[in-house]
Structure 1
Amino acid sequence: MIQVINRALDLLELIAADPERPKSLGDLADNLQLNHGTCANILKSLVARGYVEQIGTKKGYILGSKSYSLTGNEAYQKDLLEAAKEEMDLLTQSVNENCLLAILKDNQRVAIYRTFAEQDLQVRTADIKPVYDSASGRLLLAMLTKDKLERFLTKYGLPSEESWPEVQTESKLYEALSLMRREELAVQTITNRHVMGLAVPIYKKELVVASLSIYLPEYRYMALDKHKLIDSLRKCAAKINKRLI
């Protein structure tokens, strides 16, 4: 057996045993009876490949996104898509606006399914956008646990003035995200494009796994019954949640 591969796998298994709790270099090395320098070199390679993530200087290590992609992530997305597609199609038929299902990956929100309305003027949004630049991304960020949110801010920092001008301090960000979390709703106005975005969470076994959004031109949003639109979005999310149980 190749020793360095064996040690790398030992490290991954130890981190994966409690994947959300950062483990220090010393704890990992001592648990596996490894030389600290050897352990640091292996971790450096695992971090570079995305299998392990370092939470700031001297704050420890957790599993990286690549490790999660090896644990059935594609199958998990398949379940999510199967639960969401029909309900999203019905929602778009009902409100005649574009809908989007998205997940959080690193500091980006990634669209995994879309439905399109039959409108002459439609809002288009990129498949991948920075978290702070969309209602869906902000909602997903708001629904993170306190520890995960702190790690996100340590790694990626605050939003730029261009992406979220109303939130330029940590206290303002926490205040905005706390409101979204309580209401389970994010509403974003993209002023320079005259676009509105609304997003609500999708749950699987009490864990937020995605966001469901509606995007539409601001002038149509202002003319609509906003409470009815949000209620339709929430009801669709509830049906998807029920399918994911």
Structure 2
Amino acid sequence: MSDSVLAAVKSADRVLDLLELLAHAGREMSHSEIAEILQIPKSSLSQLLKNLIARGYVEGTVNGRGYRVGEALLSLSQSAGRMRDLATQSETFLADLTQKTGESSALNLLRGDDAEVAATILGPHRLVTHMRLGDLAPLYATSGGKAILAYMPGDFQKEYFARVQFERATPKTIHSVKVLRQEIEKIRTKGFAYSHEEWTPGIIGIGVPVLDPAGEPLGAINVAIPASRFNPEMQRKAEHALIQTRDDLLRHLLLRPRLKRGDIESRRD
């Protein structure tokens, strides 16, 4: 391993050690105290703290003599908690969605450039589509993936459009950035994402995003309908049920106690 790689690894370890120390401590710590415990040269520690403070992961105390966990780290922890809640709490709501529509339903979460099935309920019909836990599909190909992509921050979308490589799962799979951009605009206008046999032949998906209070996607829920049962009445029924289920799920999640300063420390006691 080269010296530059070793230096980068060492620096990363120091950042993690520093954050873990502050989180475990449950109190503000002085510059000298941190340097002594972590055995970091004070000059190196000053630079680490400067970078972490700039990103909001560490913050200085009012008197400027101590440091503690910053709001950005608390926000990350809260976001991770919401994602876990979303996966574990969604099955009850998906079961209700499947009962209302008679079709298989799923919760999708972002995994790199894919959408992953994190929870799913199988429909009651003999002819159904199986959305298995852990299944991955490109964001551009499924209704859940498109619903997530449409509400991702602009920087993410810009980078995604620059790197995406389309693979045709079916003859109807989207295969150009231009078409995908047009579809995303429609999703943001109507609030619904569709996949018309673009990932699985004979299956039409309808999805809606699950957005956090800042308007960014926590994930998406969708139903998968065999084309033989899809018609305007079924579409209206599914769209209404998706919105109702999404709103009920969000109401449930957001009414749960949110992470506050001190929780991250107390959980480690």
Inter-partner Cα distance in structure 2 for 1:165 and 1:223 = 20
After superposition, the Cα gap between the structure-2 partners of 1:130 and 1:167, relative to the gap in structure 1 and judged at 3 Å, is: closer
Select between 208-217 and 192-201 the one with higher mean Cα deviation.
Answer: 192-201
Match of 2:221 in 1: 212
1:114 to 77, 101, 120: 120
Inter-partner Cα distance in structure 2 for 1:150 and 1:163 = 25
Cα offsets for 1:68-101 (capped at 9, x unmatched): xx95776433311344222211111122110000
Matched, 1:181 2:188: yes
Inter-partner Cα distance in structure 2 for 1:111 and 1:12 = 30
Inter-partner Cα distance in structure 1 for 2:176 and 2:237 = 33
Provide structure 2 residue ranges, at least 5 long, that are not aligned to the other structure: 1-5, 18-45, 49-72, 255-269
Instruction: Count residues in correspondence.
Output: 193
1:150 to 139, 158, 175: 158
Superposition CA RMSD, Å? 3.3
Cα offsets for 1:126-165 (capped at 9, x unmatched): 511222221111121111111110122233x242355685
Inter-partner Cα distance in structure 2 for 1:107 and 1:234 = 25
Match of 2:97 in 1: 91
Cα offsets for 1:156-201 (capped at 9, x unmatched): x242355685744433321111111222211111167211100001
Matched, 1:233 2:242: yes
**Do the aligned partners of 1:110 and 1:129 also contact (CA within 8 Å) in 2?**
yes
Q: Percent identity?
A: 16
Inter-partner Cα distance in structure 1 for 2:187 and 2:16 = 34
**Do the aligned partners of 2:166 and 2:175 also contact (CA within 8 Å) in 1?**
yes
Q: CA deviation at 1:122?
A: 0.7
**Do the aligned partners of 1:204 and 1:244 also contact (CA within 8 Å) in 2?**
no
Provide structure 1 residue ranges, at least 5 long, that are not aligned to the other structure: 14-30, 34-66
Match of 1:7 in 2: 11
After superposition, the Cα gap between the structure-2 partners of 1:167 and 1:89, relative to the gap in structure 1 and judged at 3 Å, is: closer
The secondary structure found in structure 1 opposite 2:181 is: helix
Match of 1:190 in 2: 197
Inter-partner Cα distance in structure 2 for 1:140 and 1:163 = 21
The secondary structure found in structure 2 opposite 1:241 is: helix
The secondary structure found in structure 2 opposite 1:87 is: helix
The secondary structure found in structure 2 opposite 1:188 is: strand
Inter-partner Cα distance in structure 2 for 1:194 and 1:162 = 12
TM-score, normalising length from structure 1?
A: 0.67
After superposition, the Cα gap between the structure-2 partners of 1:163 and 1:120, relative to the gap in structure 1 and judged at 3 Å, is: closer
Cα offsets for 1:183-221 (capped at 9, x unmatched): 221111116721110000112223310100000211111
Inter-partner Cα distance in structure 2 for 1:167 and 1:114 = 25
5 Å-filtered alignment, 1:129-144, equals 129-144=137-152
Inter-partner Cα distance in structure 1 for 2:175 and 2:232 = 31
Inter-partner Cα distance in structure 2 for 1:101 and 1:227 = 20
Residue identity opposite 1:209 in structure 2: L
Matched, 1:172 2:183: no
